Structure formats: structure tokens, C-alpha cells
Structure 1
């Protein structure tokens, strides 16, 4: 016999049973071996029938001594069976299930679980039951009963009998295919080493305890996840191999100059992320990587090193931010950091005057190396890049899939870097199961204080405002973020403009306040941010700009 032997040739399986087994997906002897129980009944908790009292919930094993269908006045038909063990007997009732009369026979041994009530005597209403068959010893307590998925015309008792009859022979045909070192490192949820494959299948079909059955199930679950993971890694490797890109050279010109001129030291996490990104950019395959790090972990400087790597190779680089305010902030940061290098970033936003926009468009359309930073204006149809080699998307969770793909499509094969402190679930899933690689910034630059996050309900609003005012009185600053600019009849959300006036005339009337949102002119926004940075504003009320 072999595992691929058709199940028809097994003893006890004829053409009729083979056809029924096919409905369960059992075609070969190996299929029968892997037709594992879908649940177990723990007979070790079986109670004597005589010990059951109304109000209890019990599990019993007894032999059917009589049965029948009882009609009620309301037309409901109830199947009833009287079962007996060595201690006594009890009536079991299945309301609305008269069809059970065809599958439960007099002399069958039943395992019943359910509540006990008083109805003309003690009566058990089975929540679940297992027909152990005719002639089975009623004293099977202490065993774990395997319950198999069955089909009409082929009960789980028959399936259990077939598996039990051939199990020893089939287990001898099983070959362990997981490497020893992999199996040695694997363990179940209780920390126990996973069993070998043959041992696991024996535990599943003939468990001595529920724990045994769970160990066997854990082994099969582990190898299923293991092979799925291998498959995903293989798929990711194939996707990367088909993703042709630009093979940049490690010239160490602008990148080394930036590192030497930085007024701070890079963290180990930043250095690690830069090396991972550089390795992608040096390869002949197109980079598709997510840079994840908390706010203040230094994602931007990592992206700037990648942008300079593209520029020193004669390519253009683009960094897209979700708001004009953030794009302008990035531009100022780049202007300051790139000053020793003689590089000036190109700002691209929707609010640029027409003449300035045409000048910027002409620069982007040329093949001259540059670094562009902007909003979604970078992906609008009239924006063209002459030689885009690197694209980064900051706060990628705030862009749609199509917007992110549009920036990557602006060049022939630009390397793509996504940045976020809170990646969307789709992006996280892509790092596990798709072709998105992951770099993590898991440490803060020196001097950065930890962020404390607290959740307060609306009922604590007054105390929160008092806390902010107290902190301001100590010389600190604060800002309050609202989700929308103006109130709307279609929204219950608080608006920044309305709440600014309410706070200004209320609890913060004596404080220096300012309002900031996307409709404010760029020059005015920059002035507000400068004043807040210089400590001239105590409390800033803003939207998510």
C-alpha cells in the first residue's frame, strides 16, 4: 500500500463508500489519513446518570433502551430517547428534530451533553451528542472521542472505523519532510516541542487527552503556516525579479558630504535603514520599501540620503507630502541641510502662481538632476519628470492607492519609498504577503523626549483644557487639532474655526492664540509656524495640516 493508493482498494471501502468519501475530499489512502477529526468529545468528564439533578449541566454515556417521536398540541414533534448506564436512566429530548429517529437506534450508545430540567421526571436536552454505535461498551469514560466530518450515507462512526482499521499501516508510510533544525525550533502555545509528523497524526486520531489532540493539531497548523510563508517569500522573490529598476552606483559624493555636515549623529536604526535602502537602490531591481517609524524617529533624513544617492547618479528625486504646510516644512529643512552641498530643493504645490508653476514644470521636465518636494501636485497630469529615479511618499497612509501609484509611474522605473508612523493595514499586509519590503526605525534620536499618549472622554474635556492652560502658565506651548475647518450640517465633528473662537473667548482668553488650516495663504501659514516655533504663540488651533 502507498499513500497515493486509491481509497477504493482499502479493506472495508467499496465503490459506494468510495463515492461518498469523494464528497469529503477523500480519494486516496493519504487523504483518509489526513481526514482529521474536526472536534473531540472528552469522555473523561462523564458523570453517572444517577448523579444528575435538575439545573445541572452534564455529560453522560448511556445505551438507548427506548425511543420515539412525541407530537405536541402546537404541532411540534419531539424525538425522545431513554438512555441508561449502570447507575440509572434518564430521558433525552430533541424538540423539532424528529428525523433523529432514523439515525438513532435502540441499543446505540450515545454520548450526550446538555442541561438537565424537570419535566415529568428528569430530562436532558442535548446541546450536542455523539452516536458511539451499537454494541459499544457503555463504560468508555476516560477516553477522548474523535468526531470526524461526515456526509449523508456515511456516518462519522463508519469513517472512524475505517481510519482506525488502517491507521497503523498508513502511519508507517509517513515520511517526515520538515528539516530537523526547523522542527527543533518550533513549539506550540504551551512551549512544548512539536511532535514528528507520524506522532502528530497518531495524536490526532487516537488522543489520550485533549492536550494530546491539540499538540497534534498544532503540528499540522505549524507546517501549514510554514509552507504558506515559504510560498509568500517565493512569490515576493519572483515579483522582485520581474521588477526591473535602476542600478545606482555608490559614488559617496553628495551622501558623504551630507553626513559630514549634519549637526547631529544618525541613530543606529537610521544607519541600518539607509543601508537597506541603498542596497535596494544598488541592485538591478526596483525598490518598493516601507519605512516605518514613530513621529520624531528621523524618517525624513533617511529619505534625503536616498534622494541624494539618486541625484549624484544624475537622476531626479521627488518627495510627496499630504499637505502644503508639510511640504513647505520639508523644503525649509532641505534648504538648511543642503546648503553646504549647494543644492536647492524645488517646491511644487497647487498654490504656486501660474508663472512660477510654469518655471517649475520646465525644470522638472528637463533631465537635470534635482530634488522636488511637494503635494499631490507632483502627480497631476501636467507634471512631467525628465529623469525621475527616486520617489518618496511621506505619511503614505494619507494618500490613496492610485495617488501613490501615480508618483511611481512618473518615471520609467523609479525606486519607491513609502514613509509612515501609522501604516494602513493594506501596507502592513503587503510587507508580509506582498512585494513590499520593510525598514523600521525603532529608536529615537538623542535628546528626543518620549511621547505620552492618553485617551480622555468628552466628559473630561474641561479638565483637559485646564491642564493645557496650566502647562502654558509654566512656559510651555500647546496645540489642539480638529478634523474639519468649518462646521457642516452633514457632520457632527467639531470645526477648527468655530472652536478657535469658542476657546479664544472662553478658557484661553488671556493666551496668545492662532488658527492654522489649509485655506490660509502659504505666506501667512509660514508666518504662523515661525511665530509658534519662536514661542510667540501659546496655543495653536489647527486642522490636520
Structure 2
């Protein structure tokens, strides 16, 4: 980038070795890292409240001088009381913890800003307020004073906002008038963005609110542009790779498959199969995401694609995230292909040694054209004759993250990733922007909408009566409890207690069974088979995945503590019923019975559109909670927000894809700064793509 930006942060004035270590631990190693350590908020001196005008219960910011601090014993604990004053009066700040270092840094005479909720006890008070050091002269001259995110370690080392402002002031005095801009000139002009150095300055020393907004826009756009550039490069790299598995014809097998079905395909299924066939015959590698609600017919689409591959002499592998779902796919594919004399193999950890050896041999010599299992299918010990097509179920990131592994094995197959989670366009552009997307937006005819109702504690008796009536009709019931990783033990106890209550007190005459993540695999499989066979009336489960087996006879999905689930999860759970011809129901039990919880859950009462629900879920919970980080990773965004910054995302995507179309490897001289920046910050995310 530039010698000034690449300097070690330890050489910056006011840093020193001890502070350098803390900053390094936070990922701040260079001057560039430090300059992009942006304030988390700004004090507007025109909106700071004076102590004499405080109102109990309001959230506000006060600037004053520390008068004294006293550590007092109150019954069993110590409380630090700090007195603050301004020209209009006094107030007390209280801390129940962190006494030593807070008392050490809040010395009499210091001018600080405090933010928090105002209480009243013998005068105005704030408990555990957010605080920072400010300079009186700066408050009198600058409209907007930056406040930086501070860890306890930073505070202990005296690195507060006032010190950061001194550091940045010195840095900008030393900074060259021009810095290399990662964004190309034509993008800057097209979008009307502040140049790099000017934007950095406005982030730390804003002239006014309008200039500050321009600074934030610049860095949000830059972050989203780099993300989209990454996706554009990956997409172009895949598209330009010649596929060794070209399907020159659709073949007879797919027609035989169609004619063997007791129903017609939906128009959406026909459209998506055509899209996939175009990919398979194009000569380029397919990297497609198939989205569709539970029950929309994704499995049949995957089977049709596998049939095309078989007729062209290639193998297909279907990978599921769990053994239960792998077994389900195995059953479904067998039902479809056995009448057509096409063998299907299952490869999971539960197979016996002899059976596994036989399956591996048949897969390796090409005798078995369709293989189903967990994603261990692509690990060591599994070899294929001609694996041309991989279907990945519910592992959304596989198409991007695991492609490198497939390439290393010399396969380079077409990849179809399937998900029953309707992904809002916002997330789709940022997480799957390197993939082509197909959507099944039509349900098979005759499938009835699941009727959904929110149930409060007062309505449980009626709900149980309704369940009993359904069981008398020969129907079966799911009861699902949330299982949140942070409180797994408590949740498990709640599920077990709920199961015992249902079994012993509410439905003592019915067969009730319990499944959870710690149930041994053999027992789990036996319970699921008993439920599917109608031997169990009510199945209590703690996880979504355990109810992955299709049970057309199940007509009620009762979800306990539904307010703890995301709307998208609830919608997916709801899709587990309504598989048969009878009317099905979903009961959302809101134990807390809060107005907020009821309002949120009633979205599901009104809508059965997965994408509409997903958009609402994203708005309510934000992208961080929409997906579990463990399974999907995150977008890597630090400044931009995937929901509120959607308009910026669309602009950034347009410019990034336009640039890659003209300069696929970012080799043009005018893109030199961009290439340097991109390789420095994103090289490790490129996987299999090569640029520069």
C-alpha cells in the first residue's frame, strides 16, 4: 500500500510496547489498522444535557468534572461512588464492580462524558455508565467529538478516547497529503465518494454531520465492494473453468423417471430442471444454489439432474449434514430409481465393514452411479470412477468453502447446494453472490397450508384437548423444545420435564417418546422408525434435525417457548407437518406471553410464504442471528450492515462485477492500488481463485 500505512503501530507516538501488545491482540498491527479503528459514536455538544436539566428514566450523555470517588461497603458488597459536577449541579455515578481500575483512572479534576440511564436516589445518579475522557476546549470548538470502542485492557493502559484523539491528531500531521486509494478513480467518480485520506480524516475529526456521513458511506461502500469483488472473482473463475463432465443430451432416463411418478411436476420444478440442464450442457462448471421451502420438491429436482448425469456416463453424490437425513435421502432416491434398475448406495459411519468395502468398490469402479451419505463422501478413502455431480443438502457454504477440496481430488464436479431456509435477497447477495440461484416458489398441487396459531399459557388446556382429538383420528404429534447452545443443560432439563409431564399427567393413556441430541444413535433410529410406523402418538424432540424424517401422518407441530426461535426456524419446523392429505396445524406456545413475542409470532399466523417470513426475520433479528455462525460463518463485515445498507450493497455489487468483467485478474495498471489492497486483506478468502 504505502510506507506510511505499513509502519508498525509500536512506532506511533503515545503507543509504547505495552499498548502495542494490547493493540496487536485486537488485530491492530500497522498504522493502516489504527487509522481504520473507527469511533463507535460521536458526542454532539449541542445535545449534551446539563445535570440541572436531567429527567429520571431518560438515556442521555452528560459532560462534567470528577469531584471525588469513594469506595463504600454496602451490606455484602462494595460500591464505588463517583461525584460529577458541571455548572448546573452534581450527580453520582455508581459501580458495583471494576472498582480498582475505575477509581484509579477517574481522578479528581478529570473531565469525562458519561452515558446511561438517569435514576434518582438523593439526587440524580447513573449506574455503570459508559464513560470517556474529553477535553473541555475540544467540546467548546468541535461539534462532534469521537468516542472510541474501549476494552478494559485499553482503559487500564490509559488508552482512552482523549489519548486516541491525540494519537490521530499526530498521525494526520505526519500523514502525506495523498494516500493510495484502494477504490479505482472511475468508481470514486461514478459513486461520488470521498477519497481515501479525506474519508479517514472525516471519520476521526468530522467537520460536521454531513461530512461524517460521507466518511461512513465511503467505508461502508469500500467494505461491501471488496466483498462483492471477492464473489465476482470466484464466480468468474468457476464459470471460465472448462467442465470435464459435459452433458450433451438429456437422455431417456429422465423421461422414464417422469413417467414413473404418480403426479406431475410443478412449473417451478420444470423451470429449475431446465436451468440446471443448461449448466450441465454448457461446458462450464455449475455452481448453483437451489432454494425452496420444505415440501417444494427439491429432492425430485436433484434426482432429475442425477438422471441426466447417469445417461451421460457420470456419477452423482448426494451429501446431507446428518446420518438421519442421509438415510431419508437414500429412501427417497431408492423409491425413485429402483423401479428404473439404477442402484443407489448409502455411505455413512454406521455401515458394517464388509458392507462398506463392497459399497466403496462399486463406487470406485462405477457400478453404482448414485451415492448418498454425509460429507465424509469426499474425504480420504472414498474414490469415484467419474463423479460429475455433487448435491449438498442444507450445508449452505459447501459450494464455496469445500470446492477447493473437490478440485484437489481432481474431480471438479458440478455442485448443486440445496437449502430449505428461504434466504432474503440481502443475505443471498452477500453470502452466495458467487453462485447462480434457482428458486422453487411453487408448492405441489393438493398440499394444504398448515394452519398456525399462537398459544398463550391460558390456552394450553384447549390445545391439549385439540391434540387428543387429532390422536383419536389416528394422527401423530411433534412437540419441539428449543435447544440453545449457551443454555443447553437447562434446555435439556426443560425438555425432559415437559416430556414427563406430557407422558405422566396430560396424556398418560398415549404413547409419548423423547428424542434429543444425546440419545444414542441406535435408540434414536428405533424411536424414529416407531414414530414413522405409527407406534408413537407424540414425539418430544429438542432439535430440528431429529424430526427430519417425513411422517405424512403427523398433523400437529407444537413448538414450546416459540418466542426463543427465529421466525425462519419456526417456519422450517412448521414444514415438517402437512406432508399428508389431511389438514395440519402448528401451535406456537409463547410461555412468556409478552406483547412483543406475540406480535412477532403472529407473522407466522398470517403468512406461509418462506421468503416473506425470512425478510421479516432478518429485519427483526439482524444477519448475525439469522444463521448460526458455527455452520455458516459470517459475512466478515465490520462496518456495513447487511439489512440497513442494502442500497449501498447493490451499488457496490454492480461496480465490482462490472470491474471483474473488464479486468478478471485485476491486472490493469489503473487497478494497481486495488490489487495491492485486495491481496493484502482478502488473499486467504480467495480459496481456489487466482488473481494478480
Instruction: Provide, for residues 279-314 of structure 1, a one-character-per-residue CA deviation record: whole Å limited to 9, x for no partner.
Output: 2575465x6655332233222332232222222222
**Structure 1 match to 2:342:** 345
**Structure 2 match to 1:251:** 249
Pairing partner for 1:132 from 132, 135, 140: 135
Alpha-carbon deviation of 1:112? Answer: 5.1
Query: Secondary structure, in 3 states, of the residue corresponding to 2:134?
Result: strand
Q: How far, CA to CA, are the matches of 2:228 and 2:175 in structure 1? A: 28
**Structure 2 match to 1:190:** none
Q: How far, CA to CA, are the matches of 2:159 and 2:328 in structure 1? A: 69
Q: Is the 8 A contact 1:348 1:360 kept in 2?
A: yes
Q: How far, CA to CA, are the matches of 1:117 and 1:530 in structure 2? A: 60
Question: Cα distance 1:40–1:267, how it changes in 2: closer, same or farther (>3 A)?
Answer: same
Structure with higher RCO (Cα < 8 A, 6+ apart): 2
Pairing partner for 2:47 from 41, 45, 48: 45
Question: Cα distance 1:521–1:62, how it changes in 2: closer, same or farther (>3 A)?
Answer: closer
Q: How far, CA to CA, are the matches of 1:448 and 1:70 in structure 2? A: 70
**Structure 2 match to 1:401:** none
1:447-462 correspondence runs (5 A)? 448-454=447-453, 456=455
Q: How far, CA to CA, are the matches of 1:76 and 1:441 in structure 2? A: 61
Q: Determine whether 1:297 maps to 2:299.
A: no
Query: Secondary structure, in 3 states, of the residue corresponding to 2:206?
Result: coil
Query: Secondary structure, in 3 states, of the residue corresponding to 2:133?
Result: strand
Question: Cα distance 1:63–1:141, how it changes in 2: closer, same or farther (>3 A)?
Answer: farther
**Structure 2 match to 1:331:** 334
1:119-518 correspondence runs (5 A)? 128-132=131-135, 136=137, 140=140, 143-148=143-148, 152=157, 156-157=161-162, 159-161=164-166, 163-164=168-169, 172-174=177-179, 177-178=182-183, 197=196, 200-207=199-206, 213=212, 216-231=215-230, 234=233, 246-254=244-252, 257=255, 264=264, 266-268=266-268, 270-272=270-272, 274-276=274-276, 279=279, 283=283, 285=285, 290-317=289-316, 322=325, 327-334=330-337, 343-346=340-343, 367=366, 371-372=369-370, 388-390=387-389, 392=391, 415=414, 417-422=416-421, 432=431, 439-445=438-444, 448-454=447-453, 456=455, 463-464=462-463, 467=466, 478-481=475-478, 502-503=509-510, 518=529
Question: Cα distance 1:111–1:224, how it changes in 2: closer, same or farther (>3 A)?
Answer: same
- TM-score normalised according to structure 2 size: 0.48
Q: How far, CA to CA, are the matches of 1:15 and 1:395 in structure 2? A: 48
Question: Cα distance 1:245–1:332, how it changes in 2: closer, same or farther (>3 A)?
Answer: same
Q: Is the 8 A contact 1:26 1:35 kept in 2?
A: no
Q: How far, CA to CA, are the matches of 2:188 and 2:63 in structure 1? A: 39
Unaligned runs of 5+ in 2: 397-403, 481-492, 513-525, 536-550, 555-579, 585-692
- Pick the structure with more helix per residue: 2
Q: How far, CA to CA, are the matches of 1:22 and 1:162 in structure 2? A: 12
Question: Cα distance 1:222–1:414, how it changes in 2: closer, same or farther (>3 A)?
Answer: closer
Q: How far, CA to CA, are the matches of 1:159 and 1:504 in structure 2? A: 66
**Structure 2 match to 1:339:** none
Q: Is the 8 A contact 1:63 1:109 kept in 2?
A: yes
Unaligned runs of 5+ in 1: 187-192, 337-342, 398-404, 484-488, 506-514, 541-545
Query: Secondary structure, in 3 states, of the residue corresponding to 2:295?
Result: coil
Alpha-carbon deviation of 1:222? Answer: 3.5
Q: Is the 8 A contact 2:254 2:308 kept in 1?
A: no
* Count of aligned positions: 478
Q: Which moved more, 1:268-277 or 1:306-315?
A: 268-277
Alpha-carbon deviation of 1:456? Answer: 5.0
Q: How far, CA to CA, are the matches of 2:355 and 2:167 in structure 1? A: 82
Q: Is the 8 A contact 1:365 1:385 kept in 2?
A: yes
Instruction: Provide, for residues 342-401 of structure 1, a one-character-per-residue CA deviation record: whole Å limited to 9, x for no partner.
Output: x4233557999xx99999999767645x6557778x97999997655445466779xxxx
Q: How far, CA to CA, are the matches of 1:356 and 1:72 in structure 2? A: 73
Q: Is the 8 A contact 2:73 2:79 kept in 1?
A: no
Instruction: Provide, for residues 131-166 of structure 1, a one-character-per-residue CA deviation record: whole Å limited to 9, x for no partner.
Output: 315xx387x298221235778477644653564577
Q: How far, CA to CA, are the matches of 1:169 and 1:467 in structure 2? A: 75
Q: How far, CA to CA, are the matches of 2:583 and 2:496 in structure 1? A: 25
> Rg: which structure is higher?
1
Question: Cα distance 1:195–1:465, how it changes in 2: closer, same or farther (>3 A)?
Answer: farther
Q: How far, CA to CA, are the matches of 2:6 and 2:244 in structure 1? A: 55
Q: How far, CA to CA, are the matches of 1:298 and 1:73 in structure 2? A: 67
Q: How far, CA to CA, are the matches of 1:159 and 1:196 in structure 2? A: 23
Q: How far, CA to CA, are the matches of 1:118 and 1:455 in structure 2? A: 42
Q: How far, CA to CA, are the matches of 1:27 and 1:537 in structure 2? A: 64
Instruction: Provide, for residues 266-286 of structure 1, a one-character-per-residue CA deviation record: whole Å limited to 9, x for no partner.
Output: 52464235424652575465x
Question: Cα distance 1:412–1:465, how it changes in 2: closer, same or farther (>3 A)?
Answer: same
Query: Secondary structure, in 3 states, of the residue corresponding to 1:40?
Result: strand
Instruction: Provide, for residues 480-499 of structure 1, a one-character-per-residue CA deviation record: whole Å limited to 9, x for no partner.
Output: 3578xxxxx99668599999
Alpha-carbon deviation of 1:36? Answer: 3.7
Alpha-carbon deviation of 1:44? Answer: 1.6
1:56-135 correspondence runs (5 A)? 59-61=61-63, 83=85, 85=87, 88=88, 90=90, 97-100=102-105, 105=109, 110-111=112-113, 115=118, 128-132=131-135
Query: Secondary structure, in 3 states, of the residue corresponding to 1:146?
Result: strand
Q: How far, CA to CA, are the matches of 1:382 and 1:243 in structure 2? A: 27
Question: Cα distance 1:216–1:453, how it changes in 2: closer, same or farther (>3 A)?
Answer: farther
Q: Is the 8 A contact 1:44 1:141 kept in 2?
A: no
Q: Is the 8 A contact 1:59 1:111 kept in 2?
A: yes
Q: How far, CA to CA, are the matches of 1:497 and 1:54 in structure 2? A: 51
Q: How far, CA to CA, are the matches of 2:164 and 2:360 in structure 1? A: 73
